[in-house]
Amino acid sequence: MRILSGVQPSGQLHLGNYFGAIRQFVELQNKGEALYFLANLHALNSVRDGQLAYQLTLETAAAFLALGLDASKAILFRQSDILELGEVYWVLGTLVPMSNLERAHSYKDKRARGLSADLGLFAYPVLMAADILIYGSDWVPVGKDQIQHLEFCRDWATKFNVAYVPGYEPADPNGENGNPPGIFKLPEAFIREETSVLLGIDGQKMSKSYGNTIELFGDEREVKKKIMSIKTDSSPIETPKPTENSALFELLKTMAPQSEWPEIEASWRTGGVGYGSYKKKLVDYFHLCFDEPRKRFAQLMRDKAELERILVRGAEKARACAAPIVQKIRVAVGISRC
């Protein structure tokens, strides 16, 4: 099983990134051949400062390692180190209907918020599909917000296979019933339901674009301030509290130790505890979950040369995984002889 995912190094990582993505990556490194990358080419759509982009890429790598990624088990690398990616991205783009990209959430949402529609943003799902297909990935762990991109990826992979693999049968994509298998393997999204969308301090989806995040490696006082400012309603202490759309309830559920959760949930539903007390508990749980990774993160960031070495080694391994597929694509489209 080949498992692949990427995170854009476009800001400080937050709780949503950890519980929606990175935690799964760490768990999955024991379940198959895992490739995880820093999507620094995608991040260029939003980070337009070279020094910052470089710094965020290293920080994100350090974050992965601090949070439990083991570079001797999983392949950790930087998207931009895979030189063949540009070629695959282009080839795939020649088959992508404009109408698909026009209805991509990433593009539509950002447009709706008044951001300029550059080609990079528009074509973002194509680069993401190339990221996935170039390694023949089986499983792609992502948050719910990425499902549409995975569906596009499967559609475009099928279009490519139909166009370039004689006898390819979309109903038998892996060639299990005697048909030739596709050059591109169709990936599956791997979604964790229970923490699929974590809410931010204002009650909307936690996202760096909304300025409502709680950072994993942020300043301790800042983290506390943010937790204490989580939006709640005006329920008095003694009454039961609503659970629906409550960021505080969800964050507690996500971060409380299993042994403590039943008591918290019971008091939440019956009343008697105020929001302030729950927030203080959440601060404690944050430290319980992240103090160790925070220490490791600080250590890793002190040795940037070592981080670079890890990423360069990772890229070499990732390129070796991509090589046979890239070669087949080049021959199929006629930019290389066999």
By the criterion CB under 6 A, which residues form the site for ligand TRP?
Answer: 4-8, 39, 42, 128, 131-132, 140, 142, 146
Residue 12 binding partner per list ligand ADP, ligand TRP, none, with a CB distance cut-off of 5 to 8 Å that depends on partner kind: none
Angle at 130 between CA 129 and CA 133, to 5 degrees: 85
Which residue in this structure is represented by tokens 């990624």?
A: 69
Return the number of the residue (6 or 173) whose C-beta is nearest ligand TRP. 6
17 binds ligand ADP (CB under 6 A): yes
User: Which of ligand TRP, ligand ADP, none does residue 39 bind to, with CB < 5 to 8 Å depending on kind?
Assistant: ligand TRP
Longest CA–CA span in the chain (Å) reads 76
Distance from C-alpha of 331 to C-alpha of 335, rounded to nearest angstrom: 6
Segment 200 to 259, residues that bind ligand ADP, using CB under 6 A: 205-209
Q: Which is nearer to ligand TRP, 26 or 142 (CB)?
A: 142
Closer CB to ligand TRP, 146 or 161, in the complex: 146
Question: Tokens at residue 20, please?
Answer: 């929606």
Rounded to the nearest angstrom, the gap between the alpha carbon of residue 259 and the centroid of all alpha carbons in its chain is: 29
Q: How far is the CB of 21 from ligand ADP (least distance, A)?
A: 4
**164-203 mask for ligand ADP (x: CB under 6 A)?**
---------------------------------xx-----
Q: Cα separation of 53 and 257, whole Å?
A: 35
Which residues, at least 6 apart from 197, have a Cβ–Cβ distance to it below 8 Å?
A: 16, 20, 143, 144, 145, 205
208 is a catalytic site residue: yes
Residue 208 interacts with, from ligand TRP, ligand ADP, none (CB under 5-8 Å by kind): ligand ADP
The conformation of residue 298, written as its DSSP 8-state character, comes to H
Phi, psi dihedral angles at 307 (to 5 degrees): -60, -45
Q: Which residues, in sequence order, are CB contacts of 112 under 8 Å at separation 6+?
A: none
Instruction: Identify the residue among 79, 146, 232, 254 touching ligand ADP (CB under 6 A).
Output: 146
For residue 76, the cross-strand partners are 36
- In eight-state DSSP terms, residue 242 is -
Contact status: 129 vs ligand ADP (CB under 6 A): no
- Which residue out of 208, 224, 226, 281 is catalytically annotated? 208
Closer residue to ligand ADP in complex, CB, 17/161: 17
* Rg (alpha carbons) of the chain, rounded to whole number: 22
Q: Which residue is nearest to ligand TRP (CB)?
A: 6
Q: Under a CB-based contact definition with an 8 Å cutoff, are residues 162 and 170 in contact?
A: yes
Count of residues near ligand ADP by CB under 6 A: 17
Q: Which residues share a beta bridge with 75?
A: 35
The interface partner of residue 46, options being ligand TRP, ligand ADP, none and the CB cut-off 5 to 8 Å by kind, is none
Q: Can you point out the beta strands (E) in the chain?
A: 2-7, 33-38, 75-78, 139-141, 188-190
Catalytic residue among 108, 159, 205, 231: 205
**Residue 45 interacting entry, from ligand TRP, ligand ADP, none, C-beta within 5 to 8 Å by type:** none
- Judged by CB under 6 A, which stretch of 95-103, 137-145, 258-266, 313-321 contacts ligand ADP? 137-145
Give the C-alpha separation, 328 to 248, whole Å: 50
Active site residue 279: no
Active site residues: 110, 205, 208
Which residues contact ligand ADP (rule: CB under 6 A)? 7-8, 16-17, 20-21, 142-143, 145-146, 197-198, 205-209
